[in-house]
Structure 1
């Protein structure tokens, strides 16, 4: 071992595991490393060693994390280790000692530094990517790949990841794009984990203590007894018709859940009586000395309700001394809150539960409240924290025990079983290294639960890391600006997303070779002495295809197909009317699908001569399809001459590129042409020598199998070729949109002034924001009005948000929002034409609160039905976007108003205990 490593190890208060030593030695060798190990296994030690190497070598080390809370925590840890002068912090809104040899930052900050070619990168030697498995995150993931691909080749990567099942694949990609990156994997938990099931007032081991690979027979017996008291036909949830449904919206039912609970709600023995209450679970854990515990409840309201339920019981989990210590933590953090803010967040209720050792932890809490909970729990004073699953991906808060109330959660669309990877992530919090000799995972019994399914979930360790990388407009202008379009495309072709796609295509190639061998065998079996049977089989195949085409052509005349095609058209679609007085191109104003249930739609359209007509069934006697699109103004009125004239101009521009439409009368001609082709082919088939072969049908079966396999192979190869260039193709489509709007110039090879402005905007709706700036949408707005309009760009309502109507706060913000929506719609048409997936739409749900807060309103006034944590996070998102715009090279007036927005909104609870 090197002298630096010897000193590092000597300064630790614990012995390193073998995998930690191996990873540190790899860094000594000048290599990069990917360390994949379970939560709490101490993999951050390897990242900390990289900081020692930086100080010893005179080079810099950047320690990156996915969220600001983790950056803040790591900053304090490293400052305590190396001293305040040696460590800096950069989180976008906080800058401390940025020129230090060790700088902790969020990954987004490093990405931005790379694009700006920051001078700070000149002496960079190591980059630690903590929680690098975030690369699979839909929203944050692409940033990791941008950093990995964009860093200078001399910089060594230290990737720290939770245990993933494809760590070797990820490491192979890192080695390919970075050079000499070694993979170090440890699957051993530092604290062994024991699995339990809570049934009523009892805790059972999930696995048989005598045969650890088998399910505890007592749990199997409980499940069997429970099932005995349920009617066979009651085991499946029923619809209104009384018939059992095969697919339900509450998971598979193997782990119980709402549907299973409905099955068990009767007065018979077993069933719900086996399901433990929260109070029973906490009492059992307290009695068995298994606290502190994290209880995972998959909803914020569920967490708050659980705390209230425990508070309303006689549970007191802390001693008087612990309660006093917890009170001091509360007083220290909460001294900056006003009385109004305390009332708004239910401060007294929180403190009462907190001093008894009980608290919630979820994204809906004020950051200052979460900071209090985290400090109390890490100090060992809090005994029960009821949390959502986001805690499993957050800061370091291990417990002796983890409790999962249910194994089914809402994923944004439906209630689904949690995955083995999610189970591993959640239970990874159980067992505190250096404190506990055993960690404990407790699953609460649910009616209808199958303990064997739970055992299968607990014993699997499949947690694959899949790339979420997709090019964005901001990424495109930054890449083109820093390296040119061709090199940018080449860089994206080296992304992990493309690497994984190519890997899958490699498997497809093997399968295609196997398929080709089968095809060759069938062709040999179809050999005919009379002549070339492959040639004969192709004639039969051509006849069959033309007959199918003829059938489809005739089938298309059916009314149901016409109605189906009409249901798919939208306002602005340009379609060809098949027949009647309006035959030819028209633009759809209203598809006519609303209020006509059970009837065929009658679209309202405008013809090229500006006539607005309602089409009849006689006009549309064949299916129609969208050929192009134009924008129909939001408040278009058919009787308004100016509206028709403006729409007509846009329609004319589209018509120039469409040519003459094919209308209904050509269908008969097409059918007659097919009849002639089929007759000609039949004559050639009958004249072929193989037609008279006595074994003709036997040969034909083998030939047909060969051609069927060949067609399937061609389709697979076509899909593979499309996927093989999917990332680069997406980039090219994005570049074409940017070129069309003037963000890229010189044939898309350079970045214009508008593109430079876009390069500094990192919103999901980056292009909409930039285009709105160019068109002056934000000009003339005052501070509260601008805050309201910017909120519609960054805000995204949660699925559980109450569905009451929102509105913009005043006439000026309403007008600006209307213009912003017009910009969004125009860009949407471009994206549709270039086959780019459209991002989410604008959302005015936070506009009123944003306006009021920027105008100086108090917290209690603006919260309404919103949680305090959501409010703070949304305000910070508005401030972040306003700050980006202010520094993006916009006019001084707009930049000044953006700075006013940041100044007005960053106050009170928003600035306390800042985090992501």
Structure 2
């Protein structure tokens, strides 16, 4: 933004008028020491004018300032503002930021873990908490004026994305919605949907980065530019497609490819070719012309970035083990990035932050190694770490004390940790099923953290050289604008009962048809419907062109088509019969049989070496009379084949040996010299002549039709054929339109059918059974509700109930992680067995209604839940299961959520109290830590 001295008189007058029109924004802007960008100012103006906004901007561009203005405006106008985030860590971070500005009396926090000052005018919460409030009709919603949805692009998340759409659809119309999103390629489409469901909404897309981003590849200890042109638009965060790649990188890639080809030829098969061993320790790689390409070690990377002044850095390693190993490797190499004063500050901060954790737990959690790494300026950050440790890393990094963070991609999801440099170690990652290339959207999201506004003149994205890397593919990742936002919305059982309770089925159906999922499906239908209308218009024209003065020509044409279809069907049936006969004849062949290949490139006599039976059918391996050894296929045998004579195959015959082939071919020619081709075997006679009789009847009917005598018959026939072909295409289009129309509503109908069958719904009424389900928000909501209904958890102790509930929460990271889970003794095993049986019945019911919502219960956390509820030490619990401390805490907190829901939903007073006791027992030690600043 320009200063007042830079403005012309006309611009100064416009600025003055704008200030009078938006006085709250003018006061808000004065709180910052830097001028706001145009997109920020425009968005704030729209909010002050009473409109909702969608702001799509790159990471680090300052879009959260727009959300903070909504908070400021709410306080200035005496209204409430809810600030929603996708993850608890981001909620905690935003809560602390807002408390620092407005004070603890003005700001509250509501997450699954914490409830602080929930009736404050400003409340930070996870999106699920707001969804639950809307369904419950919470009084906290009174006076709500604004909702900020940070990271709203999370609605594409398969597991949780539906919650964002539920909130957007169900918020009262009087609430202004401020949506903050990463740059997505269809922001305008998303904004159009928001305007449809929320009313007046302005979409503001900002593609320029506040800090330019430059792309590099690190080869050995050299940091090379990715692009040849130094004038690429680094402000955009991506470059135009086709930008020239650095020739030096292309040369290295060619040499690398040539070297690997040569090595493949020279090296014995199966011998390891790894240069640096496990953990990317690094090592030389000999290339074709004698030069060596070094795969940079992790220490080399940090050392080079440090010498170039490119720290702080985030190094993305798509493996938790890899992140921890990277810290260990740097420490073993003697790395030290901090001054004595910084080390003292780090030590004091970490000790203070972890003082609430028991000493015996700290030993188990590797606290001293963690502290050693931090005091030297390096740390890991991933979901397997204890939340308290992760928050130490985040805070010390933001203070500039932690210089390097080795992180998994989860760090890129929301929390505020910008860097001067972002390093991506590999361009492939495990996606849950296989190692796949990262997408352009993921690349943009990761590198987008490079370049700290107000601190850095430029940001840097670095990809580490790996064997087989293609610089042009890297350039393609860097030059793709971004990724489209796709809805993951689908109605759940809990959603259905809550909607029907509030609105009835018909109104609920209408609401769900407003979802972004249906909006996107409908937009796709628009093009199909346009094609369908064109086809229908053309059909009318074709029918008119086929009009005959003697009679109904379309009726006559239909007779002709029925005759043609019947004849084609009969011919196809005969071909299938011949194929079956050919298959049966090939299955009878034996080594040494001499056959005559009827057609194709290898037609003539051949001797069978191997009949070649396989799942795909027989593929005989033969030697022909002209000395060729070939494996034949069914295409070579359109008719059945039979052995005409036999030859003895030499022992140890090898078809690759030319001399053996010559000798066998010579014997074959001698044996077949006087043989004539065997007669073609007749096919089976048709079982009946019903088809022939039907064709004859239709032909007679056709000849008797008045149009058969028309002199323009064939001209009419051409138009009728066009009509039939277009009609077939139009019917296909119509089916596609019907499939995409009301897809969400039809899925909702199927959900309601399941709930009606189980007596959770009775028409427009939610039954008492359904009211229990209304309070269960788990992914396994229906299994939990049915377990309550059948009394499966009645009489369990708190520890036993914790174990039973855990099977509805826990999911092993990989299917083989919990192959033989340990189950507590007593009643837990039979109860869990009944729950699994119950799930099986529900799964069958879902399949009947073409649904697939409920996954199988996972028993892998039952033992840990039981022992923790029994009061065991963290060391004992973690020692009994293959689970990282961070995962243990995360699953425990989800188990706490479900236990709290059961305490609300259960009809039995004793079970309600047992569930509350589960919550009390589980919330201790590392699980009880809230993550809030004191």
Q: Distance in 1 between matches of 2:816 and 2:397?
A: 30
- In the alignment, is residue 229 of structure 1 matched against residue 249 of structure 2? no
Per the alignment, in what secondary structure is the counterpart of residue 477 of structure 1? helix
Alignment of 1:877 with 2:903, yes or no, is: no
Does residue 370 of structure 2 align to residue 350 of structure 1? yes
Alignment of 1:562-581 (within 5 A): none
Q: Select the residue among 774, 783, 787 that pairs with 1:768.
A: 783
Alignment pair present for 1:312 and 2:338:
no
CA contact (8 A) 1:550 1:671 kept: no
Distance apart, 1:699 and its partner CA: 7.5
Structure 1 counterpart of 2:797, from 779, 782, 798: 782
SS at match of 1:814: helix
Aligned-pair CA distance for 1:454: 1.2
Q: Within 5 Å, which residues of 2 pair with 1:315-714?
A: 315-515=335-535, 534-546=554-566, 676-687=693-704, 704=721, 706-714=723-731
CA contact (8 A) 1:195 1:442 kept: yes
What do residues 48-73 of structure 1 show as CA deviations (whole Å, max 9, x unaligned)? 11112111211111111111111111
Q: Which whole-Å deviations, capped at 9, do the CAs of 1:603-648 have from their partners, x for residues lacking one?
A: xxxxxxxxxxxxxxxxxxxxxxxxxxxxxxxxxxxxxxxxxxxxxx
Q: CA deviation at 1:155?
A: 0.8
Question: Which residue in the other structure is 2:821 paired with?
Answer: 806
Given candidates 134, 137, 146, the residue that maps to 1:117 is 137
Structure 1 233/277 Cα, relative in aligned 2: closer, same or farther at 3 Å? Answer: closer
Q: Which of 746, 749, 756 lines up with 1:732 in the alignment? A: 749
SS of aligned partner of 2:827: helix
133-142 vs 90-99, which moves further: 90-99
**What is the CA–CA distance in structure 2 between the aligned matches of 1:424 and 1:40, rounded to whole Å?**
12
Once the 2 structures are TM-superposed, how far is the Cα of residue 135 of structure 1 from its aligned partner? 0.9
Structure 1 portions without partners, runs of 5+: 241-256, 561-596, 601-667
**Residue among 303, 312, 325 paired with 1:292:** 312
Residue 270 of structure 1, CA deviation: 7.5
Alpha-carbon separation, structure 1, partners of 2:450 and 2:774: 43
Q: Distance in 1 between matches of 2:439 and 2:735?
A: 33
2:635 is aligned to none
Q: CA deviation at 1:674?
A: 5.5
Give, in whole Å, the separation in 1 of the partners of 2:691 and 2:285: 64
How far did 1:151 drift?
1.0
Tell me the distance in 2 between the aligned counterparts of 1:557 and 1:853.
Answer: 68
Aligned counterpart, 1:69 = 89
CA offsets per residue over residues 698-755 of structure 1, 9 Å max, x none? 986775455334323312221221221110011111111111111112xx20111111
Classify 1:696/1:670 alpha carbon distance in 2 versus 1 (closer, same or farther; 3 Å). Answer: farther
| Deviation string, structure 1 residues 557-583 (Cα, Å, up to 9, x no partner) | 9999xxxxxxxxxxxxxxxxxxxxxxx
> Displacement of 1:543 after TM fit?
3.7
Q: 1:891 aligned to 2:911?
A: no
The Cα offsets for residues 641-671 of structure 1, whole Å up to 9 and x where unpaired, read as: xxxxxxxxxxxxxxxxxxxxxxxxxxx9998
CA distance in 1, matches of 2:207, 2:248: 30
Q: Distance in 1 between matches of 2:249 and 2:708?
A: 69
Alignment CA distance shift 1:398-1:90 (3 Å): same
Measured in 1, the distance between the counterparts of 2:374 and 2:908 equals 50
What secondary structure sits across from 1:811 in the alignment?
coil
Matches of 1:366 and 1:308, distance apart in 2: 18
Q: Is the contact between residue 57 and residue 181 of structure 2 (CA under 8 Å) also seen in structure 1? A: yes
Shift of residue 418 of structure 1?
1.3
Give the alignment's TM-score, normalised by structure 2: 0.79
The answer to whether 1:904 aligns with 2:921 is yes
Q: Deviations over 1:471-505 (max 9, x none)?
A: 00000000011111111111001111111110000
**CA distance in 2: counterparts of 1:233 and 1:713, whole angstroms:** 57
Q: What is the rounded CA distance, in whole Å, between the counterparts of 1:669 and 1:759 in structure 2? A: 63
- Unpaired segments of 5 or more residues in structure 2? 1-18, 233-242, 271-276, 581-613, 618-684
Task: Check whether the contact 2:522–2:741 (CA below 8 A) recurs between aligned residues.
Answer: yes
Deviations 1:230-253 (A, max 9, x none): 439969xx999xxxxxxxxxxxxx
Larger Rg computed on CA atoms: 2
SS in 1 for 2:362: helix
Whole-Å separation in 2 of the counterparts to 1:98 and 1:551: 77
Per the alignment, residue 195 of structure 1 pairs with 215
Q: In structure 1, what is the Cα distance between the partners aligned to 2:340 and 2:697?
A: 98
Q: Which residue in the other structure is 2:758 paired with?
A: 741
8 Å CA contact 2:426–2:464 kept in 1: the answer is: yes
Q: Is structure 2 residue 888 aligned with structure 1 residue 858?
A: no
Cα distance in 2 between the residues matched to 1:869 and 1:892: 34
Change over 3 Å in CA distance of 1:422–1:551 after alignment to 2: farther
CA distance 1:689–1:768, change in 2 (3 Å): same
Deviation at 1:529, TM superposition (A): 9.6
The aligned residue for residue 830 of structure 2 is 815
RMSD: 3.4
Match of residue 588 from structure 1: none
Distance apart, 1:818 and its partner CA: 1.2
Q: 1:285 to 1:519 in 2, by over 3 A?
A: farther
* 1:19-51 CA distance string (max 9 Å, x none): 010001101111111111111111111111111
Select the residue among 29, 46, 63 that pairs with 1:9: 29
Please name the residue that 2:637 is paired with: none
Residues 83, 147 of structure 2: 8 Å contact kept: yes
Provide the rounded CA distance (Å) in 2 between the counterparts of 1:738 and 1:230. 60
Residues 802, 119 of structure 1: alpha-carbon distance in 2 compared, 3 angstrom cutoff: closer
The Cα of 1:843 is off from its aligned counterpart by: 0.5
For residue 124 of structure 2, give the secondary structure of its aligned residue in structure 1. Answer: strand
Cα separation, 1, equivalents of 2:48 and 2:75? 14
Query: For residues 709 and 336 of structure 1, do their structure 2 counterparts lie closer, same or farther at Cα, with a shift above 3 Å needed?
Result: same
Which residue of the partner structure matches residue 737 of structure 2?
Answer: 720
Report if the CA contact (8 A) 1:296-1:405 is conserved: yes
Superposition deviation, residue 911 in structure 1:
1.4
Give the distance between the partners of 2:95 and 2:105, measured in 1 at CA. Answer: 12
For residues 541 and 744 of structure 2, what CA distance do their matches in structure 1 show?
37
Assess, with a 3 A threshold, how the Cα gap between structure 1 residues 140 and 804 changes in structure 2: closer, same or farther: closer
Higher mean alpha-carbon deviation, 866-875 vs 54-63, is at 54-63
**Counterpart check, 1:281 vs 2:301:** yes
Give distance in 1, aligned partners of 2:391 and 2:164: 27
Alignment of 1:43-82 (within 5 A): 43-82=63-102
Give the count of matched residue pairs. Answer: 792
- CA contact under 8 A between 1:225 and 1:270: conserved in structure 2? no
